[in-house]
Amino acid sequence: MAKAINDGLRRAMSQNDKVLLLGEDIAQLGGVFRVTDGLLAEFGPNRVMDTPLAESGIIGSCIGLAMRGYRPVPEIQFDGFVYPAFDQITTQLAKLTYRHEGTASFPVVIRIPYGGHIGAVEHHQESPEAYFAHTAGLRVVSPATPEDAYWMIQQAISGNDPVIFFEPKSRYWPKGDVDTTTPPRPLHQAEVIRPGEDLTLIGHGAMVSTLLEVAEVASGEGTSIEVVNLRSLSPVDWPTLVSSVSKTGRAVVAQEAPGHVSVGSEIAATLMEKAFYLMEAPVIRVSGFDTPFPPAQLEGDYLPGLDRVLDAVDRSLAY
């Protein structure tokens, strides 16, 4: 995925010289995860810029650049570092198009590596997507595969709205095929990545790979599970979700983030509203616990894994 995002950024920058990259250590170092490696040499220091350690200043500068016709793509070095920029994102960036009655656009794409599974310290393994999905005026997406990442970063950059682009850092290194010729699905369209008949598993980002493992194990036990990769958290592709659930009659929503007032909560509530009479069981949620992210030694207990999701599947099938 890291290479796919790198290639996607390169293609977007080649096609539009108004696309700029900004962030801490993204130029000389190529980013902490080397996602921007090589882009400084190719596009120069006026388009790939190291910034001070000041997230609020980074986003504020990007808002000004967008006002002047540029398409800035800032990187927040780790998920937990986004909070100093929270005011700029939610109070300014999210509202400026509405404030201008649509006469101005603010195409800022904020890249945020997020989530666990890398054994890091505090503030380096958080899942803050619900804050931004809740904020009107922002688009929020998260790729689950290299092909997702390659196309979605380009689609986000080419649009005229601010986008929060959550990159599941634990999926930076696993490899996958990328079709660079076939036109991609729309940015905000979910994808059924494994068809099934008995139950729908719904997730985003790194959680998708776990759901595919669950589906494979369940298949060996005679249960046919459909897996849906959300891809977009705001807006959510409700037609795809409702279509899947109407076929299977059951749904389990899984996420790394805490469960209280979360993306999973919204999906569960809306599916019960839209598909209540099509369901054979209530939607079940599986999530991280409602605590701060623990020390690295405990992340395996905190993050939903194969066993916790399988338990939810069994509970749903028992209704």
DSSP class per residue in 217-260: HHHHTT--EEEEE--EEES--HHHHHHHHHHHS-EEEEEEEEST
Q: Looking at the predicted structure, is the pLDDT value of residue 46 above 90?
A: yes
Q: Reduced to 3 states, what is the DSSP secondary structure of residue 286?
A: strand
> Of 241, 239, 248, which Cα lies nearest the Cα of 218?
248
The CA distance from 89 to 82, in Å, is 9
pTM of the model: 0.96
Domain 2-171 and domain 191-317, same fold? Reply is: yes
Q: Looking at the predicted structure, is the pLDDT value of residue 225 above 90?
A: yes
What pLDDT does residue 153 have? Answer: 98
Domain residue ranges of the chain, discontinuous segments joined by + = 2-171, 191-317
Q: What would be the CATH architecture of the domain defined by 2-171?
A: 3-Layer(aba) Sandwich (3.40)
In which band, very low, low, confident or very high, does the pLDDT at 123 lie, cut at 50, 70 and 90? confident
Catalytic residue among 117, 124, 188, 204: 124
Q: Mean pLDDT across the chain, nearest whole number?
A: 96
Which of 117-131, 237-251, 259-273 is least confident?
117-131
What CATH topology corresponds to 191-317?
Answer: Rossmann fold (3.40.50)
Beta bridge partners of 162: none
> Of 70, 13, 78, 66, which Cα lies nearest the Cα of 41?
13
Over residues 14-36, the mean pLDDT reads: 97
The CA distance from 229 to 215, in Å, is 13
Over residues 139-168, the mean pLDDT reads: 98
- Residue 308 CB neighbour total at 10 angstroms: 16
Percent of the chain with pLDDT over 70: 100
What pLDDT does residue 156 have? Answer: 98
Cis peptide before 235 (omega within 30 of 0): yes
Q: Is 117 a catalytic residue?
A: no
What pLDDT does residue 95 have? Answer: 96
Tokens at 39, concatenated: 């882009």
What pLDDT does residue 29 have? Answer: 96
Q: Reduced to 3 states, what is the DSSP secondary structure of residue 72?
A: strand
The CA distance from 137 to 89, in Å, is 10
The CA distance from 167 to 237, in Å, is 19
Q: Looking at the predicted structure, is the pLDDT value of residue 120 above 90?
A: no
What does residue 146 show for φ and ψ, rounded to 5 degrees? -60, -40
Q: Which residue has the tokens 């790729």?
A: 143
What pLDDT does residue 25 have? Answer: 97
> Of 319, 309, 272, which Cα lies nearest the Cα of 287?
309
Contacting residues for 102 by C-beta, under 8 A, at least 6 apart: none
What pLDDT does residue 23 have? Answer: 97
Q: Looking at the predicted structure, is the pLDDT value of residue 122 above 90?
A: no
> Of 166, 99, 111, which Cα lies nearest the Cα of 137?
99
